[in-house]
Structure 1
Amino acid sequence: MIKNYIKIAWRNLVKDKLNTGLNVIGLSVAFAVAILLGMAAMYQLSFDGFHENGDAIYKIVKTQQTPKGPLAGTVHPAPFAPSLATEVPGVKRITRYLQNGAIAIQGDREIDMNIVWVDKDFFSIFSFPIISGDQNAPIGDLSSVVLTEKAAKNLFGSVDVIGRTFNLLINGNEKPFTVSAIAKNNVPETNLEFEMAIRFESHQDYLKHKEQWDSQYHDVYVELQEGVSSVSFEKSSESFMDLHYEKAIGMLKRDGASADINGRYMNIELVPLVDVHFASFKNGFVEVSRSLPYLILGIAFLILFIACVNYINMSIAKSAKRLKEIGMRKTLGAHKKQLFFQFWSESLFVFLVSICIGVLLSFAFVNEFKTTFNTNLNSDLLLKPSFLIGLLGIVILITIFVGGYPALLMSRLGTIQSLKGKLESTGSNNVRDVLMVFQFGIAILLITGTLVLWGQIDYMRNKDLGYDKEQVVSFPLNGKRNSNDAVELLRAELKGNPDIISISGADNNLGLGIDGSRSSSKIGFEFEGRAVTTNFLVVDHEFVHTLGIDLVLGRNFESASDSLVVVINESMAKELGVEDVLSAQLEIEDGVYFPVLGVVKDYNFNDLDRAIEPITFLISREWGITYAYAKVSPNNMANSFETLEKTWKKLEPNAEFLGSFLDENIDRTFNREKTTAKMISSGSVLAIILSCMGLFAMSLLIVSQRTKEIGIRKVVGASVGSITYILTKDFLKLVLVAFLIASPIAWWLMREWLQNYAYRIDLSVWFFVAAGTIAVLIAILTIGTRTIKAARANPVKSLRTE
């Protein structure tokens, strides 16, 4: 019996090559896209999920109530971690974590290393496998370091380097370190990336800040003891915070901060390690959002849904051609159960072939997918048992329900009805219409999302940020020379070159450079009896001029000797709240006052999802700068860029030149948005294509059901246009209903998404009109080809069986 089902199913599929081909192509592409999107989502959701003790590991966040509202931050003072471990019960292990690069020197090799400065328990807390060297205490000594395999090969040319020494350039001085262990290379799905791990106590700022509770500059991770919950630990830490932050809490009360619902002003909050990748602190709270991976999964399921709807509709359309076959089988004694399994076996064939092709396609295009969508998903995920089991489960469910519905519908047809060759207009038509509304509703939703996302991205690309981003090149000062000296040498070497207008430097980059490093500094101080917080930027005296930032009050720095004055922005001037801001003096260092020299116009030094904040510029050779900025002539930018690279190589022959224009840096800051937009755009295109296949199937069904009607209308004088209108109006009504349903949903979703940006586009009605128009035009083009052909057919052929 089963053999007979398979044989007949195969014959029927081969006989109707067009329908079978469309089904297999649509489902195969949908499966392939769903697999790739599922892999991308699983990659995102797997961040730092590989650590053995991950359930007990947390990142410590400090939350406080300020006069302007709640504030959350991840940085802590140097004595925080050791004090917490000894004073609050429940700590199993704890580590400070500071990511800060330095130049590693080995022979003639000079490499800018990504270094993490951590405590000795770091490798006991986190599962970064040690493949050689000291397994128990890889950084037990202050002069010991752990290198990854890649870093060892870059520095020494080999991984067999246990016991070998090299120097790190720290504050202009070379300090020797010894390799004590080699760690396996970091997996992509971790936020704790490093090439080299060194003891926190060896950092150049440690001794200066060892006992200072008001200097916060590093993260802290804690592993709790078994049986200790994060909630109980947070409660236990309240007295610890009250003791060590008594002065800070008193200042918050004095400045008018309101206590939280528990009557507290400062707390610690534990963020689970697996949530760290998704945590943000923009609104003063710890907010964990997995919206991006869930959005990716949602698009994958929507694509699969549309493909499955197509299969159902095309199967129903095909059933009109098989009515006599069904009637004959029933006349010869076939039962409903037998007919069901006969038709369901055809679906099983199609789904099995489609999933096999889909898996092959996903393997074939995984590299292109990674490049296009800028993701590091691992193709090995396809071979993981959990992924394969989940994939198999989805295929089984789709086969049962999607393949089962048309089979059930056809097996329930009456014998007389089937022999007459008429498919009754039953509730299946309602199901068909609902499915079509869902199809086009999804397509309109995705099209609207695409238009809004690209509109926001275009707005961010073209917004006036308050400085010159087109003509300025930035690059890290990653050589051996003192960074201030390097900028002065660059300025001297390029003086008089018509392609280079000016040279400057700062201790942070604008946007995201090629080196991928980002940082920011904030400082708090007392001003006229209240606490003031400002972003803090160490600059060269040419910074404001090089960036083209407008000066609105006072004057700019004139030379490196202006090291005891500051320049602030308009937001900082408002924060100070004095009538004559140029008379203000800021106590940035204890007992040292810095007069305000000038005020610059507000400019966007943060990403556009954040409003402009107060910022203060200071010249300091002690604190140093880390990035150079060069303003180039607009006449020959390519030549100017090449000149900069050659000059840098002349000054630092062993350092890599990682220069890029600021507009490129800004563009990199919204890579997340661009990736999301690309995924939704691709989903929209695919949704439209699959929906058109469904529409085409429906037009086949309607035309086959109304062939006689078309013939009669033509005989009595109906025009091609009127017949085409009659055949298409029902479809267009469904598209209109889909538009009316999808538009409010799209408006709500896009409005919520745009709230994440301090600077955003207006949610114009034209986005929705454009999406609906695109959907209608595509529907007309898809249906029109088939309906016009039917309307133009010879009525004699339509009526010849009467």
Structure 2
Amino acid sequence: MALHSLTLAWRNLVRHKSFTIINVLGLSIGITCCLSLLVFVQYETSFDAYHKHASQTYRVVEDFKNPEGTLHWNTTAYPLAEALRNDFQEIPLVTQTAGPLHRLFKIEDAQGNVSRYEEDRVMMVDPFYPKVFDIAWLAGNPETALLQPNSAVLTETLARKFFGDAMKSHESVLGKHILLENKDELTVTGLVADAPMNSNLRYTMLIPYAFFKVNNPYFSGNWSGNYQGTTFVVLQPGQSAAALETRIAAWKKKYLKPEDDKRISYALQPLTEAHNDELYGAGPQGYTMPQKFIFAATGIGFFILLIACVNFINLATALAANRAKEVGIRKVLGSSRFGLVKQFLREHSLLIVLSLLVSLALTQGVLRYLNTALAIIDLKLAMDANVLLWALGIGVVVMLLACFYPALVMSALRPIEALKSKFSGRDSRGLSLRRSLIVFQFAIVQLFIIATIVAATQMDYFRQKDLGFSKDAVLITYIHNGKDHETFRQRLLSNPAVADVTFSSSSPMASYDYRYGTSYRLPAQPVEEGKEAEMKGADANYLSFYNLQLLAGRNFTKVEENLSEFIVNETLLKGLGWTPEEAVGRRLTINEGEGTVVGVVKDFHNESLQEAITPCLLINWQPFLEFTSIKVSDQANLAETVSFVERTWKSTYPEGIYSYEFLDDALARKYALQQLVFQGFTSFAGLTICIGCLGLYGLLSFIAIRKTKEVGIRKVLGASVRQIVMLFSREFIVLLLVAFAVAAPLAAWLMEHWLQDFAYRISLSWWMFVLGAVVTLAIMLFTIGYKSVRAGMANPVDALRNE
């Protein structure tokens, strides 16, 4: 009997091919979107949860108070970990890291061939680190591998990169030597598996913290500074983090200077919350996925699935009219309503199974696309057993949302009316529900279209806004040892394709992942009254290279071996209450020393456009000139110029590793998250439009069949094709306007909330909402057009011959 029922279900699906195809496509798209977003949400909420002590591990974060407010840092002073370990015996484990850091390595093989490598994820860790965090050891002793300062533990991928064919086995790399920064020899003492992608503690090499401490005595002993050190503590089961925070608040005065004790406070943040926390951020070289984006992704997946279910309900109830006689005959022959419900549910279940199979294949492709499109954040989404469970769960949800009501409607037909073909689908409740569902669909479609328009306008604003400096055709390369500046400059300028060269710590808007911060104050002011500022190293050519406007004073004349002069921006002067003319010649004290203000430049955007311009000091101090900016004048032969720069760099710095980036590409990275949001809006708008069009087309097919005789009569009485088109369109246009009244205020609220995150932003305008409605109307009319025109051009005799 079950096989017979399935056979009947399959035959009915085949008989109504267009409805089957539309339903399978609509449900498949909706389920694919929902599954893909669930995989994304699972990935982004699973960071560092795999460690066995994850639920008891906390990151120590720092709040730093200054006259302008409180700064929130995910890094802490390097000496903090050892002090906590010594003074708080009730804390089972304390560990710390430095980095991940950028380092250069040189390796010589048995034949004397030398290879050089550049690594961005070199992390310094203490011996407690493997006890706090789970590491899969492939070779070496975890208890001793990090005890000697000149040791190195490599990941498997890095070991194969370094040693290639010489790596015969995991144990074969132990004892091999690596030269760090052309001076320090490290011995490989361990080999570990690559760190999982869903970890904020990503590394390719682990070096003992003792090595960092020996080579960086100032940083490792400085309680006032905050660099790239991160401290973690593991609490005992049941131990209160809040109580420990209270004890630390009273204890810290033992080590901090009185002025620092007033400004600095520590908090304990659960490790599993770090990745989704906007206040403190994920950590050095990590990225943060805000919790609001997680909620948004979950909500979007649910709504798109809901739209697909709405399509299903509309089409299934519409189809009830076409199957009225079938239901009547079944009831006359003795079928119960319960039996009919089961039959229709089998048909719908078969549809859902087909949709699930299609969506699983589509989801695999979508995840591959997302991994490629979001490579900037190293996204690694993949299907696993959970996806199959979610697919099963979604199938059950779709069954509950979309199947029961149509089955009840179809099974409730009265046999006499059904056999007389008096069922027309005009039941007031059914019609009201269908209209409500169509309004819901149109509202969601318009919401996504309006959001896409707003996001596109904001992104265009980012691209077009004047940043206060020149950024076009600028190539940036790193100078590892910071020497031979003038030699490199003159060699570059010998090529007519190179227009200008400057040396600095960064471009006006820092294009790399880190920048230098400091605090500034008058020499007579106490340390605690210092205000935060960005500090940029710059040579005498920096202002003209980037077209920064000097408002008062003079430019630097040369690079100094010691700190002595500042050029400051307007925003910094506002904090001091000076005019540009008053500032010239005044003395300022920063964390690094004291100097004289020799010039004032017009404000430029030193932060991305999400943030307001901040106080900034330029210093002409040799140790901070780490990058070369090269302006290319010959765009036609760009590849040749880039090749020339590379040859010149390698001949000047033969011990280094060359890399470069164009400034405009680097600056575009600053808006990666916003670009992700924009792409998301665009993609989801496209999906909702696609699902909505499928449902609308199917519904129109039903209406065209239902109105066949009405259209024929109207044509006999002289109705034109245009009037027939209006007959089909009128009700949908009214429903679209109702949907617009729902979608517009909701879109305005959501997008205004999104735009609040930007210091420099567009204002919402009426045309964005009108354009959203017009686009939706155009899509609707395009979808309606084919069916309605075809119905209007049909021969009325064919429609009336059976009457």
TM-score > 0.5, shorter chain as reference: yes
1:615, CA displacement in angstroms? Answer: 1.4
Counterpart in the other structure of 1:686: 687
Alignment of 1:778-797 (within 5 A): 778-797=779-798
Bigger Cα displacement from structure 2, 559-568 vs 600-609: 559-568
Q: Does 1:484 align with 2:491?
A: no
Cα 1:510–1:122 change in 2 (3 A) is: farther
1:65, CA displacement in angstroms? Answer: 3.9
> In the aligned structure 1, how far is the partner of 2:144 from the partner of 2:239?
26
8 Å contact 2:22–2:695 — kept in the other structure?
no
Q: Does 1:519 align with 2:520?
A: no
> In the aligned structure 1, how far is the partner of 2:753 from the partner of 2:591?
42
> In the aligned structure 2, how far is the partner of 1:633 from the partner of 1:720?
62
Residue 586 of structure 1 aligns to which amino acid in structure 2? Answer: L
8 Å contact 1:249–1:266 — kept in the other structure?
yes
> In the aligned structure 2, how far is the partner of 1:376 from the partner of 1:333?
62
> In the aligned structure 2, how far is the partner of 1:505 from the partner of 1:164?
37
1:352, CA displacement in angstroms? Answer: 0.7
Q: How many percent identity over aligned positions?
A: 29
> In the aligned structure 2, how far is the partner of 1:156 from the partner of 1:738?
63
Q: Does 1:179 align with 2:178?
A: no
8 Å contact 2:752–2:764 — kept in the other structure?
yes
Counterpart in the other structure of 2:505: 507
1:655, CA displacement in angstroms? Answer: 4.4
8 Å contact 1:512–1:668 — kept in the other structure?
no
1:679, CA displacement in angstroms? Answer: 2.2
Bigger Cα displacement from structure 2, 358-367 vs 749-758: 358-367
- Residue 76 of structure 1 aligns to a residue in which SS? coil
8 Å contact 1:468–1:547 — kept in the other structure?
yes
Counterpart in the other structure of 2:284: none
Cα 1:151–1:471 change in 2 (3 A) is: same
1:463, CA displacement in angstroms? Answer: 1.6
> In the aligned structure 2, how far is the partner of 1:90 from the partner of 1:425?
74
8 Å contact 1:633–1:640 — kept in the other structure?
no
Cα 1:414–1:22 change in 2 (3 A) is: same
> In the aligned structure 2, how far is the partner of 1:659 from the partner of 1:30?
42
- Residue 92 of structure 2 aligns to a residue in which SS? strand
1:474, CA displacement in angstroms? Answer: 0.9
Counterpart in the other structure of 1:574: 574
Cα 1:463–1:484 change in 2 (3 A) is: farther
8 Å contact 2:725–2:792 — kept in the other structure?
yes
1:671, CA displacement in angstroms? Answer: 1.5
Cα 1:510–1:166 change in 2 (3 A) is: farther
Counterpart in the other structure of 1:727: 728
1:532, CA displacement in angstroms? Answer: 2.8
8 Å contact 1:91–1:222 — kept in the other structure?
yes
Query: Per-residue displacement from partner, 1:384-442 (whole Å, max 9, x unpaired)?
Result: 2x332222111122124312221111001111221122234221211111111111111
Query: Per-residue displacement from partner, 1:691-746 (whole Å, max 9, x unpaired)?
Result: 01111122223333333333333333333323322321111111111111111111
Residue 135 of structure 2 aligns to which amino acid in structure 1? Answer: F
Counterpart in the other structure of 2:61: 61
- Residue 221 of structure 1 aligns to a residue in which SS? strand
Residue 223 of structure 2 aligns to which amino acid in structure 1? Answer: W
> In the aligned structure 2, how far is the partner of 1:494 from the partner of 1:779?
59
Residue 279 of structure 2 aligns to which amino acid in structure 1? Answer: F
8 Å contact 1:506–1:627 — kept in the other structure?
yes
Count, aligned residues: 772
Query: Per-residue displacement from partner, 1:634-655 (whole Å, max 9, x unpaired)?
Result: 5544443232122123334564
Q: Does 1:16 align with 2:16?
A: yes
Bigger Cα displacement from structure 2, 241-250 vs 732-741: 241-250
Q: Does 1:494 align with 2:492?
A: yes
8 Å contact 2:35–2:390 — kept in the other structure?
no
Q: Quote the RMSD (CA, aligned, Å).
A: 2.4
Q: Does 1:464 align with 2:466?
A: yes
Match of 1:165 among 177, 181, 190: 177
Counterpart in the other structure of 2:477: 475
Q: Does 1:220 align with 2:231?
A: yes
8 Å contact 1:373–1:678 — kept in the other structure?
no
Query: Per-residue displacement from partner, 1:139-174 (whole Å, max 9, x unpaired)?
Result: 1122222111122222233353112222211xxx61
Bigger Cα displacement from structure 2, 218-227 vs 343-352: 218-227
8 Å contact 1:570–1:602 — kept in the other structure?
yes
1:547, CA displacement in angstroms? Answer: 2.3
Counterpart in the other structure of 2:351: 350
Calculate the TM-score normalised by the size of structure 1: 0.91
1:666, CA displacement in angstroms? Answer: 0.8
Residue 118 of structure 2 aligns to which amino acid in structure 1? Answer: D
Gaps of 5+ in 2: 109-113, 282-287
8 Å contact 1:49–1:274 — kept in the other structure?
yes
> In the aligned structure 2, how far is the partner of 1:552 from the partner of 1:593?
22
Residue 543 of structure 2 aligns to which amino acid in structure 1? Answer: V
Counterpart in the other structure of 1:595: 596
Counterpart in the other structure of 1:256: none
8 Å contact 2:609–2:760 — kept in the other structure?
yes
> In the aligned structure 2, how far is the partner of 1:576 from the partner of 1:281?
28
Counterpart in the other structure of 2:270: 272
1:281, CA displacement in angstroms? Answer: 3.2
Match of 2:240 among 203, 218, 229: 229
Residue 713 of structure 2 aligns to which amino acid in structure 1? Answer: I
- Residue 535 of structure 1 aligns to a residue in which SS? strand
Gaps of 5+ in 1: 253-264
8 Å contact 1:105–1:111 — kept in the other structure?
yes
Residue 164 of structure 1 aligns to which amino acid in structure 2? Answer: K
> In the aligned structure 2, how far is the partner of 1:64 from the partner of 1:378?
35
> In the aligned structure 2, how far is the partner of 1:493 from the partner of 1:74?
42
1:549, CA displacement in angstroms? Answer: 1.8
8 Å contact 2:536–2:624 — kept in the other structure?
no
- Residue 584 of structure 2 aligns to a residue in which SS? helix
1:110, CA displacement in angstroms? Answer: 1.8
Counterpart in the other structure of 2:442: 440
- Residue 91 of structure 1 aligns to a residue in which SS? coil
Counterpart in the other structure of 1:145: 152
> In the aligned structure 1, how far is the partner of 2:701 from the partner of 2:177?
76
1:266, CA displacement in angstroms? Answer: 4.5
> In the aligned structure 1, how far is the partner of 2:553 from the partner of 2:163?
53
Cα 1:589–1:309 change in 2 (3 A) is: closer
> In the aligned structure 2, how far is the partner of 1:764 from the partner of 1:71?
34
Cα 1:234–1:417 change in 2 (3 A) is: farther
Residue 682 of structure 2 aligns to which amino acid in structure 1? Answer: S
1:242, CA displacement in angstroms? Answer: 4.4
1:788, CA displacement in angstroms? Answer: 2.6
Counterpart in the other structure of 2:111: none
8 Å contact 1:42–1:293 — kept in the other structure?
no
1:587, CA displacement in angstroms? Answer: 2.5
